[in-house]
């Protein structure tokens, strides 16, 4: 191609889309790829290639709508209960089943229940019927064409076939229908470090799952997908596989590993077999995407090619922005209408000015407001897509949004699902996972969404009316009680009354590697030069407990190596220790057990649920509170089974503040 190697770099989203579209247009890859005739039994979900006109009327004859007798309405005039009238079977009345044709010359049907059979006699050798009511012309007849008239439009072009459409097509005399050909999509994962799901992994191995995700997205868009085996980083081998794919697939996707060096491989292969039009788009995540066309050989047809970045969130975002619309357009499947809602943003979102940013958010309805919480984690965090209910797009040249701002979110889940979400923001505890699961079992329509921002963060979320409840374990230094002081400080001045509901007591301590190789016995060991620590974030109850205990013992936090490094959950702390990166961290026994670590108990603490009374009394929280208060204590038992939990106070009302 003449413009080989002169691709657009770091352009805006709209420009990138337009440029690729123009390139595809130039090689004839715009619009429907082709049509095929399929039998109706395999046509559900397919898209009509053209308008479909009726070949037959339905019914294709005047049909009796009842079991009964076809008669001539004129013959029945004057029949009443007092002056019944008899009609000879054969000449004046003919038996018809529902669906039978009304015999020529007859123009009404009398229901069998309204016709008394009379025996045969002269003039009625087959017997007769006696009727007590006149028949209106055309009564109980489904006239020819009642449903469909031959030649009329049954379905327009570009219509996605639903079950009832198949019936209408058959009724109109069709056994097959002409539909858009399904696009064929090849997805080629590249990267020597990639391993298949379920493999035994060693450090450096990356489980390859983008082909699973992108493939399922393409299948949802109506395509036939082939997932290629993992390709090692070998230029010649990759070039050959791509060339093979170009021979028979409409779109060839190379999913790059995440390394910058590898990106060059892919772009060189594409340039060698065709031309890239776009290399790098000003979007976040997904910047290094490549878009172009290529062909297996000079005499072969052009195909669309896309180089999709390796980080899973980048991969999904770019595939959705660039590939899915193309795959749908190739079938004349119209784009799904986005569902847009306005929601209050629970946390500030800062965005680099040069990029269109796509922020994944979870959404819930608290009282009468929709609230959107940005999900943490970079482009490598696939679970942010799992937890996401929608996407907040921050356009280029806009710097972001403030906390509390009303923002427009493109919803990716049913709005009813959002309305049925109980929003928990606060301290993390593993029992919330169990509670979420128990809620799904008891009330399948309901969902518990928990964001982990620490105890104080949870109370502040309640203050801003962004959550239904907060898990909190904030030790009150003066009273020795939990949470009451913090509630009085953060919620009472704002007129927010809350129920403090007992949930669990749990053992806090130091999580240490299996066998406790450094012999850590308590907080005094944290200042040892050979001991490194991993902390929790400011506002976390565990952090408050540590700081309280350090102060009580007169230990200067600055003497602890790693005091400044923070994780946001117990499990994340435990994972750091399991990896060998640090020697200890404070957390709960369950987290240590989960990762097979050892544990030095320090104290037992209360973890309560703080629930504003307007929600505590609400119907919405009913199923959740029933689980917590369940007299069978089934849920409590599952919590105790984790170890390190005492559920004696679960469901007890500890006070109204």
Residues 291 to 310 in contact with a second copy, rule: CB under 8 A: 310
Total of chain residues touching a second copy, rule CB under 8 A: 128
* 8 A C-beta contact, residue 182 and residue 222: yes
Cα torsion 624, 628, 630, 633: sign: positive
Question: Per CB under 8 A, does 30 bind a second copy?
Answer: no
380/485 with CB nearer a second copy: 380
Distance CA 609, CA 615 (A): 12
Question: Per CB under 8 A, does 59 bind a second copy?
Answer: yes
Q: Which member of 35, 170, 247, 484 binds a second copy (CB under 8 A)?
A: 170
| Residues 79-118 close enough to bind a second copy by CB under 8 A | 97-101, 104, 107, 112
Dihedral of CA atoms 405, 406, 408, 410 in degrees, nearest 10, equals 90
| Residues 627-656 close enough to bind a second copy by CB under 8 A | none
198/493 with CB nearer a second copy: 198
- Of the candidate spans 60-68, 464-472, 497-505, 546-554, the one that interacts with a second copy by CB under 8 A turns out to be 60-68
- Of the candidate spans 271-279, 336-344, 477-485, 487-495, the one that interacts with a second copy by CB under 8 A turns out to be 336-344
Question: Per CB under 8 A, does 623 bind a second copy?
Answer: no
Report how far apart, in Å, the C-alpha atoms of 218 and of each of 320, 322, 382, 445, 594 are. 9, 12, 18, 28, 37
Q: Minimal distance in Å, beta carbon 393 to a second copy? A: 18
Question: Per CB under 8 A, does 38 bind a second copy?
Answer: no
Question: Per CB under 8 A, does 209 bind a second copy?
Answer: yes
Question: Per CB under 8 A, does 325 bind a second copy?
Answer: no
Identify the CA nearest to 306 among candidates 328, 326, 290. Answer: 290
447/543 with CB nearer a second copy: 447
Question: Per CB under 8 A, does 146 bind a second copy?
Answer: yes
Distance CA 89, CA 126 (A): 6
Identify the CA nearest to 135 among candidates 71, 199, 188, 84. Answer: 71
Task: Report DSSP letters for 74-107, one per residue.
Answer: HHHTT--SSS-EEEEBTTTEEEE-TTPBPPTT--
Question: Per CB under 8 A, does 449 bind a second copy?
Answer: no
Cα torsion 374, 306, 257, 396: sign: negative
User: Helix, strand, coil proportions of the chain in percent (round to 5)?
Assistant: 30, 30, 40
Q: Which member of 21, 93, 499, 578 binds a second copy (CB under 8 A)?
A: 578
168/498 with CB nearer a second copy: 168
* 8 A C-beta contact, residue 102 and residue 62: yes
Place of tokens 């327009």: 156
Q: Minimal distance in Å, beta carbon 260 to a second copy? A: 5
Q: Which member of 17, 32, 46, 62 binds a second copy (CB under 8 A)?
A: 62
Q: Which member of 27, 38, 171, 652 binds a second copy (CB under 8 A)?
A: 171
Instruction: Provide the token pair at 504.
Output: 């669990």
* 8 A C-beta contact, residue 654 and residue 607: no
Q: Which member of 28, 31, 34, 440 binds a second copy (CB under 8 A)?
A: 440
336/515 with CB nearer a second copy: 336
Binding flags for a second copy, 455-474, as an x/- string (CB under 8 A): --------------------
Distance CA 370, CA 366 (A): 6
**Distance between alpha carbon 496 and the CA centroid of its chain, in Å?**
34
* 8 A C-beta contact, residue 363 and residue 343: yes
Question: Per CB under 8 A, does 352 bind a second copy?
Answer: no
| Residues 175-204 close enough to bind a second copy by CB under 8 A | 175-176, 191, 193, 196-198, 201, 203-204
Distance CA 136, CA 641 (A): 76
Report how far apart, in Å, the C-alpha atoms of 634 and of each of 213, 438, 503, 626, 647 are. 36, 10, 14, 11, 11
| Residues 387-416 close enough to bind a second copy by CB under 8 A | 414, 416
Binding flags for a second copy, 354-383, as an x/- string (CB under 8 A): -----------------------xx-xxxx
Main-chain phi, psi angles of 186, to 5 degrees: -105, 130
* 8 A C-beta contact, residue 410 and residue 361: no
Binding flags for a second copy, 260-279, as an x/- string (CB under 8 A): xx------------------
Binding flags for a second copy, 580-619, as an x/- string (CB under 8 A): xx------------xx------------------------
Residue 57, class by beta-carbon neighbours within 10 Å (0-12 exposed, 13-18 middle, 19+ buried)? Answer: buried
| Residues 514-573 close enough to bind a second copy by CB under 8 A | 564-565, 567, 569, 571-572
Q: Minimal distance in Å, beta carbon 564 to a second copy? A: 8
Q: Minimal distance in Å, beta carbon 529 to a second copy? A: 13
Report how far apart, in Å, the C-alpha atoms of 45 and of each of 137, 180, 223, 331 are. 42, 11, 11, 11
Q: Minimal distance in Å, beta carbon 419 to a second copy? A: 8
* 8 A C-beta contact, residue 419 and residue 341: no
- Of the candidate spans 52-60, 276-284, 544-552, 605-613, the one that interacts with a second copy by CB under 8 A turns out to be 52-60
């Amino acid at each position: 191609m003449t413009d080989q190697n002169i691709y657009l770099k770091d352009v805006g989203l709209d420009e990138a889309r337009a440029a690729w579209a123009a390139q595809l247009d130039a090689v004839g890859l715009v619009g429907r790829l082709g049509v095929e005739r399929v039998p109706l039994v395999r046509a559900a979900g397919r898209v009509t290639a053209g308008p479909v006109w009726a070949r037959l009327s339905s019914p294709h004859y005047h049909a009796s709508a009842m079991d009964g007798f076809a008669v001539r309405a004129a013959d029945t005039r004057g029949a009443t209960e007092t002056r019944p009238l008899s009609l000879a079977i054969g000449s004046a009345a003919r038996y018809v089943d529902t669906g039978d044709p009304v015999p020529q010359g007859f123009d009404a049907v009398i229901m069998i229940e309204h016709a008394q059979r009379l025996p045969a006699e002269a003039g009625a050798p087959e017997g007769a019927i006696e009727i007590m009511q006149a028949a209106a012309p055309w009564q109980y007849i489904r006239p020819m064409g009642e449903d469909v008239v031959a030649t009329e439009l049954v379905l327009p072009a570009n219509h996605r076939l639903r079950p009832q459409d198949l019936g209408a097509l058959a009724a109109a005399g069709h056994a097959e229908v002409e539909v858009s050909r399904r696009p064929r999509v090849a997805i080629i994962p590249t990267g020597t470090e990639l391993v298949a799901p379920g493999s035994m992994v060693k450090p450096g191995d990356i489980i390859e799952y983008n082909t699973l995700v992108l493939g399922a997205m393409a299948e949802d868009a109506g395509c036939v997908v082939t997932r290629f085996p993992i390709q090692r980083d070998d230029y010649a081998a990759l070039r050959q596989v791509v060339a093979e794919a170009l021979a028979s697939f409409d779109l060839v996707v190379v999913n790059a590993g995440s390394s910058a060096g590898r990106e060059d491989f892919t772009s060189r292969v594409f340039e060698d077999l065709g031309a890239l039009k776009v290399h790098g788009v000003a979007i976040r995540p997904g910047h290094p995407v490549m878009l172009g066309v290529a062909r297996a050989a000079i005499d072969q047809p052009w195909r669309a090619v896309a180089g999709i970045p390796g980080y899973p969130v980048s991969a999904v975002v770019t595939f959705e922005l660039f590939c899915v619309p193309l795959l749908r357009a190739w079938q004349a499947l119209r784009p799904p209408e986005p569902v847009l809602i306005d929601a209050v943003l629970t946390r500030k979102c800062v965005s680099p000015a040069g990029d269109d940013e796509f922020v994944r958010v979870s959404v819930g309805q608290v009282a009468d407001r929709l609230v959107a919480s940005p999900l943490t984690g970079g482009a490598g965090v696939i679970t942010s897509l799992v937890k996401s209910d929608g996407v907040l797009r921050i356009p280029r040249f806009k710097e972001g949004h403030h906390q509390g701002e009303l923002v427009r979110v493109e919803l990716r889940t049913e709005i009813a699902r959002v309305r049925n979400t109980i929003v928990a923001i606060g301290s993390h505890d593993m029992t919330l996972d169990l509670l979420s699961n128990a809620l799904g079992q008891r009330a399948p329509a309901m969902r518990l969404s928990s964001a982990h921002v620490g105890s104080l963060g949870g109370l502040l979320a309640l203050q801003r009316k962004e959550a239904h409840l907060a898990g909190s374990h904030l030790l009150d230094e003066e009273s020795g009680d939990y949470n009451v002081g913090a509630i009085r400080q953060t919620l009472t001045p704002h007129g927010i009354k809350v129920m403090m509901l007992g949930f669990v007591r749990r053992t806090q301590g130091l999580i240490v590697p299996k066998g406790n190789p450094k012999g850590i016995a308590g907080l005094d060991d944290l200042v040892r030069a050979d001991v490194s620590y991993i902390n929790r974030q400011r506002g976390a109850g565990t952090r408050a407990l540590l700081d309280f205990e350090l102060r009580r013992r007169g230990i200067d936090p600055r003497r602890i190596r790693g005091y400044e490094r923070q994780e946001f959950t117990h499990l994340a702390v435990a994972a750091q220790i399991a990896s060998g990166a640090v020697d200890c961290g404070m957390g709960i026994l369950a987290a240590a057990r989960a990762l097979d670590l050892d544990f030095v108990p320090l104290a037992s603490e209360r973890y309560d649920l703080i629930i504003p009374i307007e929600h505590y009394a609400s119907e919405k929280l009913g199923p959740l509170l029933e689980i917590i208060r369940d007299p069978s204590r089934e849920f409590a038992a599952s919590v105790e089974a984790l170890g390190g939990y005492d559920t004696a106070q679960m469901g007890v009302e500890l006070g109204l503040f």
